[in-house]
Amino acid sequence: MSIAFLPSLRCQLPVLLILVQGVFIVVFILFFSFEDPSSHFNTSNATTTAGDDDLDAIFPLFKDVHVMLFAGLGLMLSFLKLYGFGGIAFNFLIANFAIQWSMVVQGVFYHFRHGVILLRLNNVLEAEFAAVTALISVGAVLGRTSPVQMLLLTAMEIPLFVVNDWLVNKYFHIIDVGGTVAIHIFSCYFGLGVSQILYQSSLRRGHVKETTTSNSDLLSLLGTIFLWIFWPSFNSVLAKTKEAQHRAIVNTFLALSSGTITTFAMSSLMDKRGRINLAHLQNASLAGGVAVGISADLISPGGAFSIGCLASLACSLGFQYLTPFLAKKMKVQDQCGIHNLHGLPGIIGTVGSIVVILLGPVDKYGLSLHENLFSSSQEGQHPILGVFRGGETWTAQSQALQQAAALGVTFGVSLFGGYITGLLMKLPCFVHPSKDDFFDDQLYFQIPEDTGNKWISMDELQKHMLIPLKHV
Amino acid sequence: MSIAFLPSLRCQLPVLLILVQGVFIVVFILFFSFEDPSSHFNTSNATTTAGDDDLDAIFPLFKDVHVMLFAGLGLMLSFLKLYGFGGIAFNFLIANFAIQWSMVVQGVFYHFRHGVILLRLNNVLEAEFAAVTALISVGAVLGRTSPVQMLLLTAMEIPLFVVNDWLVNKYFHIIDVGGTVAIHIFSCYFGLGVSQILYQSSLRRGHVKETTTSNSDLLSLLGTIFLWIFWPSFNSVLAKTKEAQHRAIVNTFLALSSGTITTFAMSSLMDKRGRINLAHLQNASLAGGVAVGISADLISPGGAFSIGCLASLACSLGFQYLTPFLAKKMKVQDQCGIHNLHGLPGIIGTVGSIVVILLGPVDKYGLSLHENLFSSSQEGQHPILGVFRGGETWTAQSQALQQAAALGVTFGVSLFGGYITGLLMKLPCFVHPSKDDFFDDQLYFQIPEDTGNKWISMDELQKHMLIPLKHV
Amino acid sequence: MSIAFLPSLRCQLPVLLILVQGVFIVVFILFFSFEDPSSHFNTSNATTTAGDDDLDAIFPLFKDVHVMLFAGLGLMLSFLKLYGFGGIAFNFLIANFAIQWSMVVQGVFYHFRHGVILLRLNNVLEAEFAAVTALISVGAVLGRTSPVQMLLLTAMEIPLFVVNDWLVNKYFHIIDVGGTVAIHIFSCYFGLGVSQILYQSSLRRGHVKETTTSNSDLLSLLGTIFLWIFWPSFNSVLAKTKEAQHRAIVNTFLALSSGTITTFAMSSLMDKRGRINLAHLQNASLAGGVAVGISADLISPGGAFSIGCLASLACSLGFQYLTPFLAKKMKVQDQCGIHNLHGLPGIIGTVGSIVVILLGPVDKYGLSLHENLFSSSQEGQHPILGVFRGGETWTAQSQALQQAAALGVTFGVSLFGGYITGLLMKLPCFVHPSKDDFFDDQLYFQIPEDTGNKWISMDELQKHMLIPLKHV
């Protein structure tokens, strides 16, 4: 059997990447600088820039997010038997492109002054948060899109994320320290939008290469565990005060922990023999982190514990019942189950935040709530709520409404953006794999000849023998 | 061959987990709070709680311990060919349950005031140290107990650990910054106690499934390396002063490093062909960290270097000679060799600490020793030694006696607790695997059909062929 | 087939290691101390030593470098199918020996006062940087040297590194925050020197065991990613000011990121079918970090971005064209391609630093440049440039010359040292593997019998069958 290959891959992938890097070199040389253009260079303080003291606070979190994105998510995505490199290496590629592209877009959007984009580690961290969305969305079409298509998806999603993020945070003044709405909900429905357009009827009965091995499942679980370990950093990095950060860390840990035990319980319960499903474990044990993100700095320990249980419950059920339903009835094929890990827990978390805002924290963390709100509102004014400073018109009800509105707008923007992007990705001019070669590294990587995916198993061996084996 | 399964697993595991999480939700909602109940909520300082400034100091160590427990120990335990998920996933489950349960027990024991358990990141870290004991003890019966039995073990061990930890630290005023006695000795003999009760005569000649593969051994070694990297954090997290922490970090590194080289030397020496035994490497290279824990902040670099060599020497010899002896003569089957990694080095370390207290540090670190002692003695009195403050009755001799007494008491308490727990775990009502299905993931996980453990090797193939292969 | 073994291994390896540890125990006990001998012990400040406040700054970077050396580099080196343990475990052994040996050599060289080597965490970090050189050099002869030979290489290289490091930094006053010259260039040409002496004509057509598997390639890529994640820590740890550290972190990230995308582009471009070569990805995605090291705290973001692209470009081309050329024409066999990852990017980086010094930063970072220079020059005098303090004779031209001189001297010293060391390693008295057993763990490790490297593949099966298989 000849090895399949994509003749157009060599034309498109290197050309696209070289083009992108060429343009970025020019952009970085011309516009990015470590120095604030509003300060003068020749004074003795030239090399000291504002915000410098934050390095010690930001750098550890920067590294944690790095581990999550590159090692954690990369390993987690390499769960397929024949598509391990497609998981970890394309994640590596897409993450880098997404971060660079986000630095440019966010640089123009937020940090462009006097013809210069002031670059601090903070910008890179900000860009990594944006990059997460592309990496999540790609999960919906993992293994059935070429790297060229994935780059296209990323190129489209990042600017839309920046706009929606601005809407959600600056216009709707959402309270969402962990990015549950702006990151998880957005990337989930963007990815599902793309997936719906790229619907593959041939996948309805599954795909012969869409299998895992013990080893790939174990490495994927290791990836999950790396994400799990550093998730508290992710949810607390944007907290406004030390105390809020402290609560966000502990609450995220609690939600992850209760969610993990719930995942074991649910997965065992849903199997006839009481066994754990590894896909559940790889995903649903993280659902608590997604759901608690939006209120991690606000709620009480008991609340975080409960939300974790609820999120992992929904995620497990989603894998078992909703994903097959969506694939069959709604023509939405969700390869990695991003709807279960990011969509459902995101909605649960947002609803939870509304409940918390309406009922709970006014007594307890009201002050902190107000502080969150005001520091995110630079003008002290709000287009809908009117004057903010002094808190005259701010009410729990209005904030609850804002949370819901932000969720709704994000849902609409991301789904619409996903549809447009999917249509673009479907254009025949872009290289895409044929159905037989879905979920196969051989198309994209020079993998070792005697690789694991060609080993013969006892069962297979039986089939191939003219004369039977003695016994197996 | 039909796949074995445990009919009772589905009844017991999910029910137990849901019950536990249900109870914990109520407990966390009713009793856990981020706010000190002794402060008033309505003042402007409401959200600022004492101990807040420690977040920057604790959070990095919290993450390091996380990596050790979930990634390091998880990987290390997945060294068996057919029981990789049993290693990493059950470690994940048990760790989460143990941490939650410890938070409750330690919360009631130490932090319960005015009807509220004040929750800080510090509590979670404290709980993770307790959880370590359960994870170590489980190693003695790895692969031959069901998750239900492991949860039972954890449920029993955590409260006993809290009591013994209090005895060791508050009653005997042990000097033990790294928890060598309270954590390693305790968990080792608790686990061995359980193992002795759960003795399986069928395992005397080994078990057909108790094998490793190159890949599982490599991942296990990677787990060891993660533990190795972050062990200095573990041993230094409880140090009282910056200088003590500094010494604990460097000493732990030195002991690990000299121990690692000693392990290579001993392992090569004990093999006829001079080859390294991977089980030695996976375990004995960490023995220095266990042994040096008790005196990491007290001793000199040369002392740490020597203790590391000694501990790894003992651990290697233990694997080669003591473990088979214990299994045959004492009916103690120690699957992971926890006695070699935690028991022997723990005893060496404790004896070393006594030598150090009697001979060495009075001249050098005497001051620091006193400080350790007094800050751990809240009342300034000691039931045996009498009045402490002012140091009138404290002598090196009395402290050496206390160290020995703490070791002895821990030994007794843990072994007795292990026996009781083992008897409980043996009750027929709890689900347990049959002998044929020891060390097998298939009972507990929906593992991929075409999994690595069914590949055929050249040797096996020879056996199965009616007609011989041309050549191999 | 009988398993090969080395009769002399058991005589030499343990004896050598025990001897080394024995000597080091004595040295550490006699000479290493946590206390500054110039302070008196009996004062109340006895346990407080200068430099103590740095612990919080150094410890995180110490851990990052640990992850890079032990987990990252270890995994990266375990890319061979049958030599995974040779990669990760020998890296573990060599790293530990190299760090201990460096602590002794650097201790005598830099920290020996009043008969005592003052030991701080800083020394250990310093020793780890030295150890890196041995680990890199070993890469050139990976799999075809015994651990005894590797230990010999390390024993020779560390003292030479310390001398050359002193020359480069104290005599030539190089500006090189990331050790591009002192670490990467030095270790590369030292390794190549050794490799040229140990030339194996039998390897000209490759070696049957020098292959990878999907799994070993994936784990190696994971190792690369760990190195990639923490490289900014490596390049910034020696930065003099917070602002310089900030720039070094961001610039290193940018160079790594642009280099990674360039690697994907180049690798795809150089394959007929546009596929990515995993060896390129495992190596060239790190080249930006090597190249940018020397100027990471000086250059602008655009400069770092460009250097990253250039370095990965050179590294990819090197793997494709230069490595085969060196092996054939120059008799330099470079197993891991260290010349592509450390040599070429190192030269590019050094040339880049000269360009930057001549053209760029005098306007911008001139002040910082001067500060770097003066703080490294304790005497305020320079043998060639004359009086420094006051900056009378310092010019960009003179500094550029110094950079070039340091590069040249390092090149000469390392290559010469490599030749001498190679000749020593070649002595027949030291154990070395036979040609058939290159790249084979079986010589050195008790690997599982049913290990992955004996599985049969479909293609192999065909060859072994007397009667054909039905279909494949």
pLDDT value, residue A56: 85
| CA-angle at A161, arms to A160 and A163, nearest 5° | 65
pLDDT, tens digit, for every residue of A76-99? 999 999 999 999 999 999 999 999
With cut-offs at 50, 70 and 90, classify the pLDDT of residue A11: confident
Tell me whether residues C246 and A52 touch, CB distance under 8 A: yes
Mean pLDDT over residues C202-209, rounded?
A: 86
Q: How far apart are CA B327 and CA A155, in angstroms?
A: 62
pLDDT tops 70 at residue C254: yes
Residues of A within 8 A of B25 (CB-CB) are 258, 302, 305-306, 309
- Beta-strand pair C116-118/C32-33: parallel
Residue owning tokens 């370590």: B132
SS3 A33: strand
With cut-offs at 50, 70 and 90, classify the pLDDT of residue A204: confident
SS3 A455: strand
CB C176 within 8 A of CB C124: no
- Comparing alpha-carbon positions, the chain A residue that sits nearest to C72 is A71
DSSP line for A82-97: S-HHHHHHHHHHHHHH
Q: Flag the least confident range among B85-99, B182-196, C355-369.
A: C355-369
Q: Flag the least confident range among A184-188, B41-45, B134-138.
A: B41-45
Q: How far apart are CA A254 and CA A235, in angstroms?
A: 12
Q: Flag the least confident range among A382-396, B126-140, C314-328.
A: A382-396
Tell me whether residues B277 and C441 touch, CB distance under 8 A: no
| Closest by Cα among B240, B129, B125, B248 to B187 | B129
pLDDT value, residue A468: 54
With cut-offs at 50, 70 and 90, classify the pLDDT of residue B7: confident
With cut-offs at 50, 70 and 90, classify the pLDDT of residue A240: confident
- Comparing alpha-carbon positions, the chain A residue that sits nearest to C279 is A446
pLDDT tops 80 at residue B322: yes
* Crossing angle between the packed helical segments C396-426 and C344-359, to the nearest 10 degrees: 170
Tell me whether residues B17 and A262 touch, CB distance under 8 A: yes
pLDDT value, residue C296: 95
Percent residues over pLDDT 90 in chain C: 71
Give, rounded to a whole angstrom, the gap between the first and last alpha carbons of chain A: 28
pLDDT value, residue A51: 46
| Residue that wins the pLDDT comparison between C33 and C372 | C33
pLDDT tops 60 at residue C373: no
Mutation target among A208, A242, A305 for the B interface, most CBs of B within 10 A: A305
pLDDT value, residue B358: 87
Residues of A within 8 A of C457 (CB-CB) are 450, 454-456
pLDDT, tens digit, for every residue of A413-426? 999 999 999 999 99
pLDDT value, residue A469: 53
pLDDT value, residue C50: 42
φ, ψ of residue B2 in degrees (nearest 5): -75, 145
Tell me whether residues C81 and A448 touch, CB distance under 8 A: yes
| Closest by Cα among A300, A275, C132, A144 to B8 | A275
pLDDT tops 90 at residue C109: yes
pLDDT tops 50 at residue B370: no
Mutation target among B59, B213, B268, B462 for the C interface, most CBs of C within 10 A: B268
Mean pLDDT over residues A367-396, rounded?
A: 48
Scanning B111-204, the segments in alpha helix (DSSP H) are 121-138, 147-166, 186-197
Residues of C within 8 A of A462 (CB-CB) are none
pTM: 0.91
pLDDT value, residue C83: 94
pLDDT value, residue A387: 37
pLDDT value, residue C380: 42
Q: How far is B456 from chain A (nearest CA, A)?
A: 6
pLDDT value, residue A205: 82
* Identity of the residue in B213, B250, B272 whose CB atom sits nearest the CB atom of C450: B213
Residues of C within 8 A of B268 (CB-CB) are 9-10, 13-14, 17
pLDDT value, residue B389: 39
pLDDT value, residue C6: 81
* Identity of the residue in B57, B257, B278 whose CB atom sits nearest the CB atom of C96: B257
pLDDT, tens digit, for every residue of B440-465? 999 999 988 644 444 455 555 555 55
pLDDT tops 70 at residue C39: no
pLDDT value, residue B321: 95
pLDDT tops 90 at residue C43: no
Residues of A within 8 A of C372 (CB-CB) are none
Give the distance from CA B247 to its chain's centroid. Answer: 23
Q: Flag the least confident range among A147-156, B17-26, C218-227, C381-390.
A: C381-390
Q: How far is A405 from chain C (nearest CA, A)?
A: 37
CB B314 within 8 A of CB B280: no
* Identity of the residue in B34, B99, B455 whose CB atom sits nearest the CB atom of A257: B99
A431: its two tokens: 């290289």
Residues of C within 8 A of A24 (CB-CB) are 258, 305
Mutation target among C66, C224, C228, C229 for the A interface, most CBs of A within 10 A: C229
Cβ burial of A132 (10 Å; 0-12, 13-18, 19+) is: buried
Mean pLDDT over residues C346-366, rounded?
A: 79
- Comparing alpha-carbon positions, the chain B residue that sits nearest to A231 is B63
- Comparing alpha-carbon positions, the chain B residue that sits nearest to C468 is B469
Tell me whether residues C217 and A452 touch, CB distance under 8 A: no
Query: What ipTM does the predicted assembly reach?
Result: 0.90
- Comparing alpha-carbon positions, the chain C residue that sits nearest to B455 is C455
Tell me whether residues C32 and B214 touch, CB distance under 8 A: no
Tell me whether residues C70 and B257 touch, CB distance under 8 A: no
- Comparing alpha-carbon positions, the chain A residue that sits nearest to C303 is A29
pLDDT value, residue B468: 54
Residues of A within 8 A of C268 (CB-CB) are 9-10, 13-14, 17
Residues of A within 8 A of B451 (CB-CB) are 213-214
SS3 A203: helix
pLDDT value, residue B11: 87
- CA dihedral defined by C64, C66, C67, C70, rounded to 10 degrees? 160
Residues of A within 8 A of B453 (CB-CB) are 214
pLDDT value, residue B352: 95
pLDDT value, residue C202: 86
* Identity of the residue in B29, B219, B445 whose CB atom sits nearest the CB atom of A275: B445
| Residue that wins the pLDDT comparison between C189 and B386 | C189
* Identity of the residue in B75, B100, B453 whose CB atom sits nearest the CB atom of A214: B453
* Identity of the residue in C17, C71, C119 whose CB atom sits nearest the CB atom of B222: C71
pLDDT, tens digit, for every residue of B231-280? 999 999 988 888 899 999 999 999 999 999 999 999 999 999 999 999 99
pLDDT tops 80 at residue C140: yes
Q: How far apart are CA C309 and CA C262, in angstroms?
A: 6
Cα distances (Å, whole numbers) of residue A101 to A63, A96, A123, A156, C365:
20, 9, 12, 10, 27
pLDDT, tens digit, for every residue of C271-298? 999 999 999 999 999 999 999 999 999 8
* Identity of the residue in A99, A119, A450 whose CB atom sits nearest the CB atom of C301: A119
With cut-offs at 50, 70 and 90, classify the pLDDT of residue A450: very low
| Closest by Cα among B286, B326, B30 to B203 | B326
pLDDT value, residue C40: 46
pLDDT, tens digit, for every residue of A26-36? 999 999 999 87
Mutation target among A276, A307, A355, A371 for the B interface, most CBs of B within 10 A: A276
Residues of C within 8 A of B264 (CB-CB) are 13-14, 17, 93, 147
Mutation target among A3, A5, A8, A18 for the C interface, most CBs of C within 10 A: A18
| Closest by Cα among B146, B108, B140 to B127 | B108
Mean pLDDT over residues A336-345, rounded?
A: 97
Mean pLDDT over residues C227-233, rounded?
A: 97
Subunits with 3+ C-beta pairs closer than 8 A to A: B, C
| Residue that wins the pLDDT comparison between A171 and A455 | A171
- How confident is the prediction for chain C on average, in pLDDT? 86
